[in-house]
Amino acid sequence: MRHESPHGLPRALGLWSCVAVGVGSTIGSGIFRSPSGIAKTVSSPWLMILVWVFAGVIALCASLVTAELASAYPHSGGPYNYIREAFGRLAAFLFGWMKLLILSATGMAGIAIVCAEYTLRAIGQYHSDGNNPSVRYLASAALAFLGFTNYVGLKWSSLVQNITTVLKVGGLMLVVTLALVLALPHAEGHFTASPADGFRLGAFGIAIISAQWAYSGSDNIGAVAGEVGDPKKHIAKSIWFAMLIIIAVYVLANVAYLAVLSPAQMAKSPLVAADIAEYSMGRAGLVFIAATVAVSTFGALNGGLLIHPRTFYAMARDGMFFPAFGRAHPKFETPHLAVAFVTIASITLVNIGDFEGLTGLNIIGNMPFAILAVLSLFVLRIKGDQYQPTYRVPLFPLIPIIALLLTIWLFITAARDETAQKSVWIGLGMMALGAIVYIVFGLNQKRRTV
């Protein structure tokens, strides 16, 4: 028997579907695109690996905070709910506002571009000069198709998520294993540099920000909590499983990359996974890994369309977005208008933006709300009896403090970096505009019935 959420969406996701959402919406474009940029920032192979471990620790700490908060508020919308309960409607509206205008569409568009690039690489039609309109056409088509499957039902979108997650992890680990077996015994020269060689704290922080793109989405299970069959039992467990899988895959993948390519070679290889596959298995390997990456990013796009519309659905039910967005489709039982909105916005950005600009704005724009989400844990615990989670963060308050301080450090690092300052100011400007909209339209009213 299927249970219904009090928010109108069916609770149809089991444990392994939740794990697939976490892994599938996280392992997407970052592990295949970000290593090149990180190699340009830090030249030591040991520092490069440490970047991925450090970023994973931040993501794990933040995800454990999400596990506790989602167990207390198992509703669609994720951080929107926690921020509203801790800091009020204005802060929650600003999160939704930024997700509406920047975070959702930039993330989806960036992933779609990588999906299209690797698909074209698999069939020999990719041009690294960036002058390839086929990338935008193919990325738009992928978004349109997945927008349709998410529109017509959670059953189909979760099926796509489960299949693509298995294929992406399996395919990537096959290539990683071959690269480690064939290249690692002969790669001594790639690992001779000292971990401290060329270390600069600011550069290390910027490299972690780049890696954060690959970990972006690691706490997305909380956003679909309203559709989890047994949220008290499944949310925390699925977050643990998903994060351990993600960190292990990322670290092993980077060791494999460095076994084949030196840091200098990686810096010149934007599609690094394709290059190591070609080394390991020849042309067939290149086609295989390019297809694997295409499947991986396709699954991440599907995960994004499972996640992002739920925020606007929650906002509409709370009286802070168009009421129609807070109604489930009478036949498909999906937040159909929100799905259509995110799909159209993402397709628009695919056709006017570029990968670096989109991902930089996404990560930096999300940082203030990642900080608020962690702070909400402390605020809500102070409320005592009003806050009743079924899962508690281990080693409290150490883990949330680690997540909080490291995220603040990364945001300050971005604000001081010339290449990232533009994204910081755009994000702050959009938040200021959102506050004006909130006040002018009187969105501090009580929750609507939709």
Domain ranges of the chain: 3-440
246-249, long-range: CB < 8 A, 24+ apart: 246/22, 246/23, 246/26, 246/27, 246/56, 246/59, 246/215, 246/218, 247/52, 247/53, 247/56, 247/59, 247/60, 249/27, 249/31, 249/169, 249/172, 249/173
pLDDT given for residue 450 in this prediction: 45
pLDDT given for residue 197 in this prediction: 65
- Contact indicator for 175, 280 with CB cutoff of 8 Å: yes
Q: What does the angle CA 171 – CA 182 – CA 300 come to, to the nearest 5 degrees? A: 20
Please tell me what DSSP assigns to residue 225: G
CA distance 63 to 60: 5
Please tell me what DSSP assigns to residue 395: T
Helix, strand, coil percentages for the chain (3-state, nearest 5): 75, 0, 20
| Span 321-337, average pLDDT | 84
CA distance 411 to 415: 6
Let me know if 69 is exposed, middle or buried by CB neighbors in 10 A (0-12, 13-18, 19+). Answer: buried
pLDDT digits (tens, 9 = 90+) for 70-89: 888 877 777 888 899 999 98
In the predicted model, is pLDDT for residue 224 greater than 80? no
Give residue 424's identity as a one-letter amino acid code: V
- pLDDT-derived band at 18 (thresholds 50, 70, 90) equals confident
How far does the chain reach from its first CA to its final CA, in angstroms?
25
CA distance 351 to 365: 21
In the predicted model, is pLDDT for residue 130 greater than 60? no
Which of 18-22, 52-56, 173-177, 324-328 is least confident? 18-22
For the record, the structure tokens of 298 come out as 């396709």
Looking at the chain, the whole-number percentage of residues with pLDDT higher than 90 is 14
Cα separation values, 59 from 39, 251, 382, 441, Å: 21, 14, 24, 36
Q: What does the angle CA 97 – CA 99 – CA 104 come to, to the nearest 5 degrees? A: 150
Please compute Rg for the chain using Cα positions.
21
Let me know if 384 is exposed, middle or buried by CB neighbors in 10 A (0-12, 13-18, 19+). Answer: exposed
In SS3 terms, 20-65 reads as: HHHHHHHCCCHHHHHHHHHHHHCCCHHHHHHHHHHHHHHHHHHHHH
- pLDDT-derived band at 192 (thresholds 50, 70, 90) equals low
For the record, the structure tokens of 330 come out as 């009478």
Phi-psi region at 375: left, alpha or beta (left = phi > 0; alpha = psi -120 to 50): alpha
- pLDDT-derived band at 379 (thresholds 50, 70, 90) equals very high
For the chain, give the mean pLDDT: 81
- Contact indicator for 427, 368 with CB cutoff of 8 Å: yes
Nearest to 254 by CA among 412, 13, 6, 32: 32
CA distance 27 to 24: 6
For residue 354, list its beta bridge partners.
Answer: none
- pLDDT-derived band at 286 (thresholds 50, 70, 90) equals confident
Nearest to 73 by CA among 183, 240, 223: 223
Q: What are phi and psi of 4, to 5 degrees?
A: -100, 140
In the predicted model, is pLDDT for residue 387 greater than 60? yes
| CATH class of the domain whose range is 3-440 | mainly alpha
| Span 291-298, average pLDDT | 83
CA distance 217 to 26: 5
CA distance 225 to 57: 23
Looking at mean pLDDT, say which of 31-35, 125-129, 344-348 comes out highest.
344-348
- pLDDT-derived band at 191 (thresholds 50, 70, 90) equals low
pLDDT given for residue 139 in this prediction: 93
- Contact indicator for 164, 28 with CB cutoff of 8 Å: no
pLDDT given for residue 279 in this prediction: 77
CA distance 139 to 160: 17
pLDDT given for residue 347 in this prediction: 93
CA distance 313 to 137: 29
Please tell me what DSSP assigns to residue 3: E
